[in-house]
Structure 1
Amino acid sequence: MTAIKIFISTGEVSGDLQGALLVEALYRQAQLRGLNLDIVALGGEKMANAGATLLGNTTKIGSVGIIESLSFIFPTLKIQQKAKEYLHNESPNIVILIDYMGPNLNIGNYIRKTWPNLPIIWYIAPQEWVWSLGKDKTTKIVNLTDKLLAIFPGEANYFRQQGANVTWVGHPTIDRIKMAPTREEARRILGINSDTLAIALLPASRKQEVKYLMPVIFEAAKIIQEKLPLVHFLIPLSLETYRSPIEEAIKKYQLQATIYPSSSKNSTKNSQEIQESNNLEILAGADLAIAKSGTVNLEIALLNVPQVVIYKVNPITVWIARNILRFSIPFMSPPNLVQMKSIVPELFQENATPENIVSEALELLLNSERRTKTLTDYQEMRQSLGEEGVGDRAAQAILDLVLTRK
């Protein structure tokens, strides 16, 4: 049987994770239908490990912001040229775009001009429905997609109202979180006592975040450590390239902290276990998380760990966004976006100071009413994320569209 050719395009660490979950689901559903798949992708190691053939690694060239993206223009164009050559030479049966608005709009527009009948599915649409930067981007997304697979109820409603063919499948983190251990199991694997006060620090999955977020997060951690001397900080690596700057920051701020997984020269069975399960143990074993904004916020929420979310970019980017683009968002972290209400504290730009982080963190750690309210809101939020089997529902919709076009 001739294999169905699927091309997937995504970027950054979170896109690689969501892409890997989708690739696994596509192979599962294809096996049930007796289909053979040939999946080629722009993504990262997780997608490759799930069975996709990588055309280019896009996990290290992601950014948020106008100024921040400038250094990634040429690497992105180079990888996109590879994608266009693949599309021209291999003629896939369907194209899946995952988030990653700028590069994926470029690929989608190229396909529509060159192969107007090649089906395109956008899975996890860009957060245009939150940013509201005007109808231009929305119209482009709607016009180039045959189907949009939404993960948030608000996302589904927004794009449906704009004329897109939308199916709400639920959030894929629901599936991923099933792999997480209990707090007790996580602490056993981490090698920390059940009564240790543990705070997870998640400063960066992008290069810009190492520059703008890590210093304020680590300064806040230093202050917390002065107030709570027995605290221990858990730091999961999103990319190995960040190990050295994080190690230097730990030393600079004199933190009682452990990086997971440990370096290869000090590798242990426990660190290997943590690596294989994608760091869910670190989150599950924490009493609190101080994190960058991103998909990880939803993982933390589903593990019932209170968190403080921070977000900082280049000041020039902020000035342009506020004064020229009139950029305004109600919330930035997924837990708050699910129901469009404040569930976790968000500290943006000038408000993302060490002092504010410490204030919010101590409140969540020491104020039982505030902590209970957060956990109650998490449970309410969970009800709006859909049922388990998100990846399989998305895979079924993709294969259904392929088979109707063959």
Structure 2
Amino acid sequence: MRIFISTGEVSGDLQGSLLVTALKRQAVTSGLELEIIALGGSKMAAAGATLLKNTTSIGSFGLLEALPFLLPTFLVQRQTFAYLQQYPPDLVILIDYMGLNISIGNYLRRHFPQVPVVYYIAPQAWVSSATVRDTAKIIGVCDKLLAIFPEEARYFQSEGADAIWVGHPLVDRMPNFPSRETARSQLGIKDDAIAIALLPASRRQELKYLLPVMFQAAQKIQSQLPHAHFWIPLSLDIYREQIEKEIQNYELSATVVSDQQQQALAAADLAITKCGTVNLELALLNVPQIVLYRLHPLTYWIAKRILKITFPFASPVNLMVMKGIVPEFIQETATPENIIQSAMELLLNSQNRGKMQADYQEMRQNMGNMGVCDRAAQEIFQLF
């Protein structure tokens, strides 16, 4: 039985790896021989998928931001179509990554309409005000949609999709994280030391637009709290050189880690982070956080002024319960001053920390019970 999985970027590789593990576990239980071919990254390969192409470094978010990746994405698309033509799969799973995955879905509909297609972790069309066309595209290419947010499932069901909520896969991953005490011990962090995690990028564009404002804020926090130390877990090792260079430029007391990412998150007293899946990991670890995001100014202007795109929240923590649990600073509001103010309010005010951590518990209830990936795998196998 051959399954083809398509995803991109760091978070898609992580979610894909959890699903691959569950699929293989279900296959053994069912006595099936399973081959998984994938577009993804090293985590999926380690879980047992055979990579057709590594796509973790060609992702982007935004109009102008996507331009440098058009040719690489086109080449991946051609290679994928050629593979599918030569080796038709028994089932296809699409994970997020809308641009390439919609193209793959449309190709399958034209050439292999009998092959079931599952969309797992659909693009967040349900969040934005400009969703009609994207929603139709997503529903049009899949036979079943496995939602990870309760509101996502309700939205796609209301639009006529065969959608089911399975829960968020990070729930299955969290038992692998060390406790706060263990993490701080492994990193050599003293009990009275202030550890601040900085998470600037999983995409190349984020180094350009987020790292400067994040490091400016960190520089000023350091001047006010000289005993603070910053921990920067790498999403991709290719970012190390640039980040370490900027650490020197800003004269930060900081450590970059590539093999202790979980420890760096679990040990933190505060995280200043880009918007993304890592926000949920931090919330599940009970770490207070500040979320920011910036795009190219022209991209943001087109989205707001011409396309009239609005969204209630950006961080998945807030989207999980559709309320503002963590502060979000988007585009013009993502300033060092705003970040510093929020950081001090969380670091120095136990009441503010307690309120956020109490709200985390409500968010946790909306993420589902353990066994998310196994439930998703069971739904997928029902389509064979």
Q: Tell me the TM-score normalised to structure 2 length.
A: 0.99
Which of 226, 231, 236 pairs up with 2:233? 236
How many pairs are equivalent?
384
Which of 272, 290, 293 pairs up with 1:311? 293
Which of 90, 109, 113 pairs up with 2:110? 113
- The amino acid that maps onto 1:83 is T
Aligned residue in 1 for 2:30: 33
Asked if 1:379 is matched to 2:356, the reply is: no
Asked if 1:194 is matched to 2:191, the reply is: yes
Which of 88, 93, 97 pairs up with 2:90? 93
Deviation, 1:32, is 0.7
- When the two chains are superposed, the root-mean-square deviation of aligned CA atoms in Å is 0.8
Asked if 1:83 is matched to 2:80, the reply is: yes
Deviation, 1:189, is 1.5
- Deviation track 1:62-96 (CA, whole Å, cap 9, x = no partner) reads 11000000000000010111111111111100000
Structure 2 stretches lacking a partner, 5+ long:
none
Which of 196, 200, 213 pairs up with 1:203? 200
In 2, Cα distance between equivalents of 1:118 and 1:25: 21
In 2, Cα distance between equivalents of 1:207 and 1:247: 15
Asked if 1:396 is matched to 2:340, the reply is: no
Asked if 1:339 is matched to 2:321, the reply is: yes
- Deviation track 1:206-253 (CA, whole Å, cap 9, x = no partner) reads 000000000000010000000000000000001111001110111011
Which of 286, 304, 314 pairs up with 2:268? 286
Which of 57, 60, 84 pairs up with 2:57? 60
SS at match of 2:102: helix
Query: Which residues in structure 2 correspond to 1:108-147 (within 5 Å)?
Result: 108-147=105-144
Deviation, 1:137, is 1.4
Deviation, 1:143, is 2.0
Which of 287, 298, 323 pairs up with 2:280? 298
Which of 341, 346, 369 pairs up with 1:364? 346
In 1, Cα distance between equivalents of 2:382 and 2:69: 36
Deviation, 1:173, is 0.7
Which of 95, 100, 104 pairs up with 1:103? 100
In 1, Cα distance between equivalents of 2:297 and 2:140: 34
- The amino acid that maps onto 1:63 is S
Aligned residue in 2 for 1:184: 181
- The amino acid that maps onto 1:146 is D
SS at match of 1:201: strand
In 1, Cα distance between equivalents of 2:271 and 2:379: 35
Aligned residue in 1 for 2:70: 73
Which of 139, 143, 148 pairs up with 2:145? 148
Aligned residue in 2 for 1:268: none
Which of 212, 216, 219 pairs up with 1:215? 212
In 2, Cα distance between equivalents of 1:80 and 1:190: 42
Structure 1 stretches lacking a partner, 5+ long:
262-270
Deviation, 1:304, is 0.2
- Deviation track 1:5-61 (CA, whole Å, cap 9, x = no partner) reads 000000000000000000011001111111111000000011011110111111000
- The amino acid that maps onto 1:335 is V
Which of 314, 329, 343 pairs up with 2:311? 329
In 1, Cα distance between equivalents of 2:178 and 2:192: 17
Which of 144, 163, 167 pairs up with 1:166? 163
Deviation, 1:194, is 2.2
Which of 224, 227, 235 pairs up with 1:227? 224
Aligned residue in 1 for 2:246: 249
Identity of aligned residues (%): 59
In 1, Cα distance between equivalents of 2:33 and 2:14: 23
In 2, Cα distance between equivalents of 1:29 and 1:131: 35
- The amino acid that maps onto 1:162 is E
Displaced runs of 4+ in structure 1, greater than 2 A? none
